Every structure is written in C-alpha cells, then in structure tokens.
Structure 1
C-alpha cells in the first residue's frame, strides 16, 4: 500500500510506526450500509478514524468489476490482486481495513473481530487454548517521549535481541508469555532478568539514572551480582477459568463478593467512615471542600 494514491493507506504504510491491516468477514456482503456505519462508530472508541471496506460480490467471475467499494478508484490492479490473494476472500465476503498507527489498528481491529464474531454467530464452542509469545520488550510513550516497559522492567529480553537494547529497543522482543483460552487471557508471566548488567541496561533505557536505580532497586542489582539462575513464573486467573466454564461474560458473575466499579464492597459496606482516633494515629486531617464551607448550612 506504500505507493497507492489513497493517502489513508499509503501514509501509515510508509510510517515505521504505522500499519495497514485487513480483516476478512465470511459472507459479510449481507451487511447493510447502516451496519457498516455502526461498526465504523464502534472502532472509533479505540481511536480509529474510519473503517474502509470492500464487498466481494463476484471476484471469481468478474474480477475487479465484481468488487464494490468507494476506495477502489484509488487502488491499482496490482494492489487489489494483492489484497484478494493475501486475505483469501471469496465471493460473498467483506473485507474491512484498518490504517493508522499500529497500536490503534491492533486495538480497533482486534475489538471489531470479536464483535463481528458475536454479532454474526461466527464463534465456535470448542475449547482452544493458545500461547501468545514474542511480545515487544518496550513501547514508545509519545507524550513523555521515552520508552516504557510493555510488561515490567524485570522481564528478560530474548537472548538473540540483547544487542538491540542499545541499537533498536523497539525491535527488541521479550521472554514474556500469555495463555489465552477462547479469546480470554487466563494466565501470564515471563522469564526474569538474572544478570545485573542487563538489568542496569534496561533501567537506563527506561530513563532511570544510575543513582535512582540504586536507590530504588539496589537490593536487586546487588543480589544479581552474586549470581542468580534463570527464573520465571506464570500466574493463572482461576476466576477467569470459572467464568469461561460457567458461560459468564464477566468475572464479577462468578465471584462470591464482587466489588462495585467504584471499589465499594456491598457485603461489608466498605469503605466506611473513619474515626477521629484512627485519623490522629496516622496524622491525617480531613479538609472540608470549599463549596461546603461556603454553603449557608455550614
């Protein structure tokens, strides 16, 4: 898509941080224009500025003439053929496109895929676990203009990518892993950094100076100097497994005493009023909001 006249596609295709991705919807031609517009609004929740599409009415018999889309006039035959070949689209299918920063495209099309699966009855009932691996080690915070850890600062980079810590942090992959079951993450973890010099490199890359690293993580860096074997872990979410087994849509449906969205406990009525004695013990003083002070009743 780098050389097409459609800047909505060519711009992200040329951007190192951009991505153009396609999502094939089996028998999606039956979707009305209103439904497509509704899905366009839906991906807007995830930052997408639009949702291009191609309806495959008769590619097998008519070729390009069997396609329907307002973007086709901007795409040369070579690009159209490439789209059809790479998506494997058949007559009756619809192809949605995402074109933006890679993070936006991933979030928007990922959510759209799940919603389409639910709306069109494409979900399958079999249990299908999988491992997600090869996570990026870092992600760029455009606002703060610095690298941040995608997992946490103590996740080990892949051995073959140690050199990328200095030359190309964005291409460095970590030794983190998630287990996903039918689209729901049920476990996650990572191998940890076990060498002091690698840990110091990662902290420096994250903008943590040597003195600050010693102040905050000196106990860890010093311990690693004495030798530490490779180690890692995996934490499973049993509540999520129970949620899937019960056919529920939220872990709150299978928790004995779930908190509300404001973190209040309906069983114990927490948080509750704090006594003056407790406040004195902690040297805490409550300040009355200005509006209450100015009200006639006060």
Structure 2
C-alpha cells in the first residue's frame, strides 16, 4: 500500500495515528537539526517534519537529499502542528516521519510548480505534464469533469441515449477543411475525421433511437485562436418528433441546470432575438447582453450636412459609451487608434461628448449643431455624461467594426463580469448566404437545415429572404451551442442541394446514403451541439479554452510537447501509396 490517506485528508482528529503518505515534494526547508517538507498530490498538501532527535538517522540523511518534485513515500505519526496554517486543509497537523522511501528522483523543473509560476506559456505547454501539477490547470480539468458529469446525468435522466459514432468517415463539405486519413487497404482513397457527427445522428433518428447524445471529439483544419482548437469536443444531441420549441426548452433546461449546479447561479430569463435584430443592434450574431451600448443607426439624422464621409457611407452607426464624456483627448485618440488597427479596419471615428450639463462637444462641430447631436443622442440612447462613438462605411464592415469597439469599451469599463451570466437564443437565421468569390449560395449552417415552412416558396424567387429553422445559444457574447430542425424528406433535401449548386450526381456521391435513408421513413427531427471546451471555459469565468484542455495545441496548430505534426518515414509513405513533393 503506497498510501493510507491522501495529502488533503488528515485533520486534528487523526493525531497519534500512524499513516502512510505518497506524493511529490513541493518544498524543503532545512534548518540542519530539523527539516520540513511539503508533500503534494492531486488532493492537497501535507507538511512532514524530520527531527534529528525523533527521526532515525538514516531517514534524516535521506531527507537532506530531497529535491523539488521528487516522488516519495513516508510513514509516520500524525502530530499537532506548532505553527498552524489556516490556509491549508491539513494546517493543524504535520507528520513526524519515521520511514522515507524515494520512489523516483526528479530533475529541477524548468519552472516553479506553484499557482503563480515563473514559466511562460510556451514553456509550460512544452512541459504540459508539469503544468498539470499546478492547481490552476489541475482544478480546470477537474472542473471540466464536473461539467461533463452534470451534462451526462441531466441528459440520461431525460431519456437520451449516448451512442458513439465513427471517427473514420467520408469527406463531406461542412464549411471547414477536413483532416484526411489515407487508407492502406484501399489505395488512393481517404477517410476524413468528422467535423461533427451530423449525418450519423440523423441516421440514428431514422433508426428510431429518438433521443441521442454524445460527448465527442470533432476535427476542423482551420486557423486557431483563443476559443478554437483543431480538435475540440462537442456535446452533440438529436431528438425525433420535435419542433424548434421542444429543442429550445430541453437545452435551455440543461443550461439552467449547469449554471445552478456548477456556479450556484439561477437564471430564469432566456430572451430570444432574431438574427436580423442581433446584427442591427449589436453588429454580430452572438451579442453580449450583460451591458447596453446598443447600436443607433444615424443615416436619417447625419447625412446631407456637407460632411462627405457620412454622405458617401452606406451606413452611419454609433454607440453611447456610459460615463465616458470626461475622457481626455489622449484617451479618445487611443480609441481612434484602436479602431484603425488592421484587426478592426475602420478608417477613423467621429465622437460626441454629451456633457453632464446637457451641452455637446464633438470632432465634427463645424458640420453639426446641438440639435443634430440631440438626435444622435436619442438614436443611441445616450445620457448626459456619455461619449457617443460613431463609425461609417459599408454596412457589413462597419457593423463588425463597431461591434469590436463595443466589446473593447465594455472590457475597459469592467462591464464584462465573469461572475454574471446572460444567455440568449438567436433565431431565424438566413438559410443561405451568398459567396461573392464563387457566385453561389452556401448553407449558413449546413445543408441539412430545414427552411421555415412558410419560406419554402421563396427559394425560387428570393433565396436571400428564406429563413432557416435554426437557432444558436449565446452566453456572455460567445456562441456555446447551435442547431436546427433538419430536413427529413428526400425531395426537400434534393431541392436544397440544387440551390447549393450540387449536381444530382454530386449530391448522390456525397450524401446518397442519407437520401436513401429518408426513403425508409425518417421522422421529423432536430438537435443542437454545444462546444464543451468553450462552455466549460465560460462557466469557469474565462474565454480562453486552452487551459481547460489537458493537452492543447498552440496557435500554429502544433503540440510542442510531443512535437506533432511530424514527418513519417518512407516505409510508411510507401505502404500508404503516398509520395512527398520534392
């Protein structure tokens, strides 16, 4: 038996007991005649004491040779600690060691295994197994487990069945690049790793499973960022004989359950907003509604005043930044420089200070008067003391630019509080979006999304106006889940493929298995998929998912710990009938 107790278990009630502990050496304090060692495991820390008057001489000598991160086993008596530490669970006791065995010595780690470490992110990712020993990462992984278990229990209790679907599948167009896997037994042919189990969960509904879920790895060969990895985990769900309202009710319930059980927060209100309103009021389809600063469109009150920049713009739109009218010129210039960064792309910004006394001071005073600015204030819902920030340009670009500014100002003003949660359903997405480069329509979600029944006749005359039976769940400005009611009959699915530019042969080659399944009695069905990594990070008060993943990739898509991706040898290439470009 390596241990009788963990390192968080012992209390004053255990005094005079003989115990066996094991773990890693956190710290050594050697006073010569007395040595204190903190030993750590996943559960906590216990202080060991080696006393030359009470500890065997050979054990004392071993203790002097201990270093950080040595793996040890000790046996000794639980005694009362003279200098108690109320910050430690085991702070009332210590172990008077009688036996010590070094299970494994250790090199000096490249960074300190402490909550506040001296290791940079790149170094800690290279030695991720050491980083996991630190409480912040360890606790994040335990937190992820707790969220996952709550999800499994909630869905299982409501009749959902967890079913595994294949990882080696056929490449299908789902919006991002596939990772492909060459087949040794079928020369010149390839599997793809799934971007989602979409078609399989629909086939499970055809198979009569009724309610399915899976916590599943998915793969997309796309650029990385703080909330995206090449491989990610979905809570993938599907239900038969449901409409949109059924799906929203179940997964609103799941989100409420997680917020209550994981964070102790009761959220009753899940407002709904159409996609069009989200774009008009917030400039994006995943708005953070924990704070205001809704967009005010100013075209009808800002054009035709001899200000050419506005007169030439497709859209003029502004926000009222609360209590920022007293910003200095230096502070405002910093905001202007921020929106002009390449990542945002604005040409500049017009500002209006709505002073506490009701007067206005603007960067365009020579073109507009107080009456004009009063109208701007009404459109942006500005109050005395606010700063009105205005951008202009092409509609799609300027909305995205102002959306970025809104989030930046909220961050600066401390309005994005990690312990506040504001969920939102965004509904009525466009079914199709136009691609200027290819001059074809693409499915905004995926080609299996059902159009709103009343909009189907518009497919022939006005495809842009067709709304999808689709919905996204947004939490604190992040999309945490998205889904739709699916097409469940062959004719409608065939029509959808036609509008997406598939020939009949292409549709049959890519999705013939699904079309054929629809001929054998497919029920109405729909579902949703949550991004588990992102959901866990937000519940944990963060927006960067990397620290909630055991072994993440860096921004270049590399695992620097195992040095992957890596070349493979020629024998493997030959087996797979692959040749590298010279």
Report TM bin, short chain. Answer: 0.7 to 0.9
Contact 1:248–1:254 (8 Å) recurs in 2: no
Contact 2:352–2:373 (8 Å) recurs in 1: no
Matches within 5 A, 1:193-208: 193-208=487-502
TM-score by length of 2: 0.44
- Tell me if 1:166 matches 2:453: no
SS in 2 for 1:179: strand
Q: Hey, what does 2:401 align to over in structure 1?
A: 108
Cα shift at 1:165 = 1.7
Q: Distance in 2 between matches of 1:77 and 1:168?
A: 43
Q: 1:243 to 1:197 in 2, by over 3 A?
A: same
- Tell me if 1:33 matches 2:326: no
Contact 2:319–2:406 (8 Å) recurs in 1: yes
Q: Distance in 2 between matches of 1:198 and 1:98?
A: 42
Q: 1:135 to 1:7 in 2, by over 3 A?
A: farther
Counterpart among 539, 545, 548 of residue 245 in structure 1: 539
Matches within 5 A, 1:1-298: 1-2=299-300, 4-5=304-305, 6-13=307-314, 19-44=315-340, 45-57=343-355, 61=358, 66-71=359-364, 73-74=366-367, 80-124=373-417, 125-288=419-582
TM-score by length of 1: 0.81
Unaligned runs of 5+ in 1: 14-18, 289-298
* 1:37-88: CA deviation from partner (whole Å, max 9, x where unpaired): 3333433423333322222125x74xxxx22223355458876444322322
Q: Distance in 2 between matches of 1:160 and 1:79?
A: 42
Aligned length: 278
Contact 2:360–2:373 (8 Å) recurs in 1: no
Contact 2:360–2:370 (8 Å) recurs in 1: no
Q: 1:227 to 1:101 in 2, by over 3 A?
A: farther
Q: Distance in 2 between matches of 1:273 and 1:39?
A: 46
Contact 1:4–1:74 (8 Å) recurs in 2: no
Q: 1:286 to 1:39 in 2, by over 3 A?
A: same
Contact 1:4–1:76 (8 Å) recurs in 2: no
* 1:11-59: CA deviation from partner (whole Å, max 9, x where unpaired): 444xxxxx4332111012133333333333433423333322222125x
SS in 2 for 1:279: helix
Unaligned runs of 5+ in 2: 1-298
* 1:121-167: CA deviation from partner (whole Å, max 9, x where unpaired): 22343222221222222222223223222212221222232222222
Choose between structure 1 and 2: higher helix proportion.
1
Cα shift at 1:93 = 0.5
Q: Distance in 2 between matches of 1:35 and 1:186?
A: 34
Q: RMSD over aligned Cα, in angstroms? A: 2.6
SS in 1 for 2:558: coil
Contact 1:178–1:187 (8 Å) recurs in 2: yes
Cα shift at 1:89 = 0.8
Q: 1:101 to 1:140 in 2, by over 3 A?
A: farther
Q: Distance in 2 between matches of 1:144 and 1:47?
A: 24
Q: 1:156 to 1:281 in 2, by over 3 A?
A: same
Contact 1:54–1:94 (8 Å) recurs in 2: yes
Q: Distance in 2 between matches of 1:80 and 1:246?
A: 42
Contact 1:155–1:176 (8 Å) recurs in 2: yes
Q: 1:42 to 1:151 in 2, by over 3 A?
A: farther
Q: Distance in 1 between matches of 2:325 and 2:565?
A: 52
Q: 1:7 to 1:141 in 2, by over 3 A?
A: farther
Q: Distance in 2 between matches of 1:73 and 1:277?
A: 75
* 1:213-248: CA deviation from partner (whole Å, max 9, x where unpaired): 233233333433444222121112222232123333
Q: 1:9 to 1:194 in 2, by over 3 A?
A: farther
**Residues 278-287 or 238-247, more deviating:** 238-247
Q: Distance in 2 between matches of 1:122 and 1:272?
A: 44
Contact 1:165–1:201 (8 Å) recurs in 2: no
SS in 2 for 1:29: coil
Choose between structure 1 and 2: higher strand proportion.
2
Contact 1:4–1:75 (8 Å) recurs in 2: no
Q: Distance in 2 between matches of 1:96 and 1:177?
A: 31
